[in-house]
Amino acid sequence: MLQEISPNEFHNEFEDRVPKDTDYVVAFNDEKLLMNKDLPVTVSDCKKVGTPVLQYLIRIDDTAFYLLENSDDYLDTNYQWESIRFIRGYEPQWMGYALITCIQLARWYDHRRYCGKCGTPMVKSKIERAMVCPHCKTIEYPKICPAVIVGVTDGDRILVSRYAGREYKKYALLAGFMEIGEDFEMTIRREVMEEVGLKVKNITYYKSQPWAFSDTVLAGFFCQLDGLDQIQLDEDELQEAEFLHREDLPENKDDISLTAQMMEAFRTKTYPMYEKWEE
């Protein structure tokens, strides 16, 4: 999965670092990232254009990434502003993972300029990764939205879907955001009922994944169909949903996403519940 970058190590702890010329800069503006050919711009690149205002974000091993706070000053350069869609398949993978994680932080900083309670401009905390209101002391931490991915199984079949109105047309599993007051099991039961009108049982945790593209952390679960397999499709959300036999699932070597990995685990009978549920 995207976050699995061993032997490289991800460090998200709050640090007070001085930027080096070779460190990378996440210049993010209007869902685009400033690139110097195939790589994100560096501190040195930014100094050639102007005076970068930098905020430390994360590092991978000793390679640090900074946010360019005055990206508006860099709209007209010889570097290229590129749509962030390229990040999904970017090599090396650790760089793609670092970039999208930085973009999640960049969006969060951008959306927390003012206190939501009293409207005062927020300032960065000096002791942790947080925005603080100097007037009413409200503290805001990075936005991370929990969501579930659900593999609904029925013997050697699994429920797959395609989303309505999205570019992404491959098969996916059911997924949805948690709502207030829910535990994961409640979210799963509600989402499956809302999207396809089915009941499920034996909800079992599989794996999780940060998915910074949507400020999300995904928790993946398998469960079993409970009762009839009469699908009632929520056509606002899904274009189609059906139970596919294991043999009809396309092979998927792209294991960047948890949903792809879960479908592949089902196809290859390597999901942990296989023996108990199918033998």
Binding of residue 144 to Zn ion (CB under 5 A): no
Q: Select from 65-73, 97-105, 110-118, 208-216 the region that touches Zn ion (CB under 5 A).
A: 110-118
Q: Which of 133, 218, 258, 263 binds Zn ion (CB under 5 A)?
A: 133
Binding of residue 117 to Zn ion (CB under 5 A): yes
Q: Select from 9-17, 72-80, 134-142, 178-186 the region that touches Zn ion (CB under 5 A).
A: 134-142
Q: Please report how close the Cβ of residue 125 comes to Zn ion at its closest, in angstroms.
A: 14
Q: Please report how close the Cβ of residue 107 comes to Zn ion at its closest, in angstroms.
A: 21
Q: Which of 11, 17, 88, 135 binds Zn ion (CB under 5 A)?
A: 135
Q: Please report how close the Cβ of residue 65 comes to Zn ion at its closest, in angstroms.
A: 29
The whole-angstrom separation of Cα 182 and Cα 115 is 27
Q: Select from 13-21, 49-57, 105-113, 137-145 the region that touches Zn ion (CB under 5 A).
A: 137-145
Binding of residue 138 to Zn ion (CB under 5 A): yes
Q: Please report how close the Cβ of residue 53 comes to Zn ion at its closest, in angstroms.
A: 23
Binding of residue 136 to Zn ion (CB under 5 A): yes
- Secondary structure of the chain in the HEC alphabet? CCCCCCCCCEECCCCCCCCCCCCEEECEECCEEEEECCEECEHHHHHHHCCCCEEEEEEECCEEEEEECCHHHHCCCCCEEEEHHHHHHCCCHHHHHHHHHHHHHHHHHHHCCECCCCCCECEECCCCCCEECCCCCCEECCCCEEEEEEEEEECCEEEEEEECCCCCCCCECEEEECCCCCCHHHHHHHHHHHHHCCCEEEEEEEEEEEEHHHCEEEEEEEEEECCCCCCCCCCCCEEEEEEEEHHHCCCCCCCCCHHHHHHHHHHCCCCCCHHHHHC
The residue (of 139 and 145) whose beta carbon lies closer to Zn ion is 139
Q: Which of 39, 53, 75, 118 binds Zn ion (CB under 5 A)?
A: 118
Q: Please report how close the Cβ of residue 16 comes to Zn ion at its closest, in angstroms.
A: 25
The Cα angle at residue 131 between residues 123 and 212, in degrees rounded to 5: 135
| CB distance 166 to 157 below 8 Å | no
Q: Select from 78-86, 130-138, 159-167, 211-219 the region that touches Zn ion (CB under 5 A).
A: 130-138
Q: Please report how close the Cβ of residue 136 comes to Zn ion at its closest, in angstroms.
A: 3
Contacts of 119 (CB under 8 A, 6+ apart): none
The residue (of 92 and 121) whose beta carbon lies closer to Zn ion is 121
The whole-angstrom separation of Cα 225 and Cα 151 is 10
**68 half-sphere exposure, CB direction, 13 A CA radius:** 30
Binding of residue 115 to Zn ion (CB under 5 A): yes
The residue (of 100 and 133) whose beta carbon lies closer to Zn ion is 133
Q: Please report how close the Cβ of residue 117 comes to Zn ion at its closest, in angstroms.
A: 5
For residues 58 to 97, the per-residue mask of contacts with Zn ion, x marking binding by CB under 5 A and - elsewhere, is ----------------------------------------
Note the residues at the interface with Zn ion (CB under 5 A): 115, 117-118, 120, 133, 135-136, 138
